[in-house]
C-alpha cells in the first residue's frame, strides 16, 4: 500500500488514502460511498433533503459492501436535519461531514456517539469558528465546486485556512486527478474531496445522461445560479439555468426562484432530465473524459501524484549534479 500520501488524517480516520468522495444529494448513495470506502478512500453518503428512512437504507447498503470507515454528509438546510442527526448518532456513523451551515449545536451529540466531525467551510472566518469545536478537520470547499458554493476559490483559500487553524484541512473544489491532489498537499492540505469526478464512476447510481453531460462538458460549461436567493449553486448550463437567469434578471421573488428549482436535481440525477433539470457539477467537469471504477480513480490519482513528485526529484538531482 502506498504510504507517501498517508497523512495524519488517514491515521485518525482509519483510511488508506486521503481522498474523500463528496456527499452529494441524490448521487452519493450507499453503493457509490461503499465502492470508495472499499477502495481505501472515504465514501460519504449524501443525506441531502432525504428523510431518515431513506438514509437508513443507504447506511444498511454500505454495511453490506464494506467494513471500512465511511461518512454521512448532513445537509444542514434539510427539513429532516433533526431526524438525520438522530439516525447518524444512533448508527454511530464513523465520520459526519456537514454542509450549508454551522453544525455547532449538534457537535456534542455527534461526539457522544463516537462520530468524528468534519464540517465544510468556505472562508477563513468560518474555519476559525469551526476549529474551536471538537472536530477532526475542515473541508475547505472553493467556488469551483459543484452545488451550493461560497465565494472564494480553492487556490487562494486553502493556504489561508491552513495558516488560520490547527486542524487538518481537506481541499475541495476543482480537484479530479493526481495533479490536483499534489497541488492541494503543496498548499498545506492533508487530503482532498472529489465530487464531480466520482459522479462519473461505474458504481455511481446517477443516470447515464448525468454522467454523459459531465463528460461532454468543457471548461466554461458551468454557471452559478441563485445568487439572488442567497443560495448560489454551480450547475451545468442548460435550459433550466437559462430560465433561472431570466427570472433573476427580471428581479423575480427569491422564493419563486427557489420554488422553480425544487425537485430539479432529482429529475436530473434520477430521471436523466439533463436539459430541464439541475445538473450540479464543478468547473473541473471539463477534465473528466470517462467513467471509471471508483478504485481506479483513486489508484490513478495516487500514482500520478507520486510520479510527478518523483520526476521533480530526479530533475532536481540532475541539476544539482550539474547535468
Ligand atoms: O453544501 C454544499 N453543497 C451543496 S448543498 C446542496 S443542496 C442545496 N440546494 C439548493 C440550495 C441550497 C442547498 C447542494 N450542494 N457544499 C458545502 C458547503 N457548505 N458549501 C458552502 C457551505 C457553507 C455555507 C455556509 C458552510 C457553512 C456555512 O455557514 C454559514 C454560517 O455562517 O453559519
265-323 pLDDT, tens per residue? Answer: 999 999 999 999 999 999 999 999 999 999 999 999 999 999 999 998 898 889 888 86
Average the pLDDT over 105-114 and give the result: 98
Give residue 1's pLDDT band: very low, low, confident or very high (50, 70, 90): low
Which ligand 1 atom lies nearest to the CA of residue 73? 1
Which ligand 1 atom lies nearest to the CA of residue 77? 13
Distance from the alpha carbon of residue 320 to the mean position of ligand 1, in angstroms = 48
Which ligand 1 atom lies nearest to the CA of residue 48? 7
**pLDDT digits 0-9 by tens, 126-185:** 999 999 999 999 999 999 999 999 999 999 999 999 999 999 999 999 999 999 999 999
Among protein residues, the one with the nearest Cα to ligand 1's atom 8 is 148
Answer yes or no: is the C-beta of 77 below 6 A from any ligand 1 atom. Answer: yes
Query: What's the pLDDT at 232?
Result: 95
Q: Which of 186, 187, 190 is nearest to 309 (CA)?
A: 186
Tell me the C-alpha distance between 187 and 192, whole Å.
11
**Bridge-based pairing state of the strands 147-148 and 233-236:** antiparallel
Query: What's the pLDDT at 17?
Result: 98
Distance from the alpha carbon of residue 202 to the mean position of ligand 1, in angstroms = 27
Answer yes or no: is the C-beta of 150 below 6 A from any ligand 1 atom. Answer: yes
**Residue 243 CA: distances (Å) to CA of 172, 225, 227, 250:** 29, 10, 14, 11
The per-residue pLDDT of the chain, averaged, comes to 96
Query: What's the pLDDT at 3?
Result: 72
Answer yes or no: is the C-beta of 99 below 6 A from any ligand 1 atom. Answer: yes
Which ligand 1 atom lies nearest to the CA of residue 147? 15
Residue 19 in grid coordinates: 481522498
**How many helices (H) does the chain have, and how many strands (E)?**
14, 11
Query: What's the pLDDT at 71?
Result: 98
Query: What's the pLDDT at 2?
Result: 65
Answer yes or no: is the C-beta of 292 below 6 A from any ligand 1 atom. Answer: no
Give residue 21's pLDDT band: very low, low, confident or very high (50, 70, 90): very high
Query: What's the pLDDT at 307?
Result: 96
Whether residue 58 has pLDDT greater than 90: yes
Among protein residues, the one with the nearest Cα to ligand 1's atom 28 is 101
Answer yes or no: is the C-beta of 193 below 6 A from any ligand 1 atom. Answer: no
Domains of the chain: 2-203 (3.20.20.70), 208-283 (no CATH)
Among protein residues, the one with the nearest Cα to ligand 1's atom 4 is 148
- Report pTM: 0.97
Amino acid at each position: 500500500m502506498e504510504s507517501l500520501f498517508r497523512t495524519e488524517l488517514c491515521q485518525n480516520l482509519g483510511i488508506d488514502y486521503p481522498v474523500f468522495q463528496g456527499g452529494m444529494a441524490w448521487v452519493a448513495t450507499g453503493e457509490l460511498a461503499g465502492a470508495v470506502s472499499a477502495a481505501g478512500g472515504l465514501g460519504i453518503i449524501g443525506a441531502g433533503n432525504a428523510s431518515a428512512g431513506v438514509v437508513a437504507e443507504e447506511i444498511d447498503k454500505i454495511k453490506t459492501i464494506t467494513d471500512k470507515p465511511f461518512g454521512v454528509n448532513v445537509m444542514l438546510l434539510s427539513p429532516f436535519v433533526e431526524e438525520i442527526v438522530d439516525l447518524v448518532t444512533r448508527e454511530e456513523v464513523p465520520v459526519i461531514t456537514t454542509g450549508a451551515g454551522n453544525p455547532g449545536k449538534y457537535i456534542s451529540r455527534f461526539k457522544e456517539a463516537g462520530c468524528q466531525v468534519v464540517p465544510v467551510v468556505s472562508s477563513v472566518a468560518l474555519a476559525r469558528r469551526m476549529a474551536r469545536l471538537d472536530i477532526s478537520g475542515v473541508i475547505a470547499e472553493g467556488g469551483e465546486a459543484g452545488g451550493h458554493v461560497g465565494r472564494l476559490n480553492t487556490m487562494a483559500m486553502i493556504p489561508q485556512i491552513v495558516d488560520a487553524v490547527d486542524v487538518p484541512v481537506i481541499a475541495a473544489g476543482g480537484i479530479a486527478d493526481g495533479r490536483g491532489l499534489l497541488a492541494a498537499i503543496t498548499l498545506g492540505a492533508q487530503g482532498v474531496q472529489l465530487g464531480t469526478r466520482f459522479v462519473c464512476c461505474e458504481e455511481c447510481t446517477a443516470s447515464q445522461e448525468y454522467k454523459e453531460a459531465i463528460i461532454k462538458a468543457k471548461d466554461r460549461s458551468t454557471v452559478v445560479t441563485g445568487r439572488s436567493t442567497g443560495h448560489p449553486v454551480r450547475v451545468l448550463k442548460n435550459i433550466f439555468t437559462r430560465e433561472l437567469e431570466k427570472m433573476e434578471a427580471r428581479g423575480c421573488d427569491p422564493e419563486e426562484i427557489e420554488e422553480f428549482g425544487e425537485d430539479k436535481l432529482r429529475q436530473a440525477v434520477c430521471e436523466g432530465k439533463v436539459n430541464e433539470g439541475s445538473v450540479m457539477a464543478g468547473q473541473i467537469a471539463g477534465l473528466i473524459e470517462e467513467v471509471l471504477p471508483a478504485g481506479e480513480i483513486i489508484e490513478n490519482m495516487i500514482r500520478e501524484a507520486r510520479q510527478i513528485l518523483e520526476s521533480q526529484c530526479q530533475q532536481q538531482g540532475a541539476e544539482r549534479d550539474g547535468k
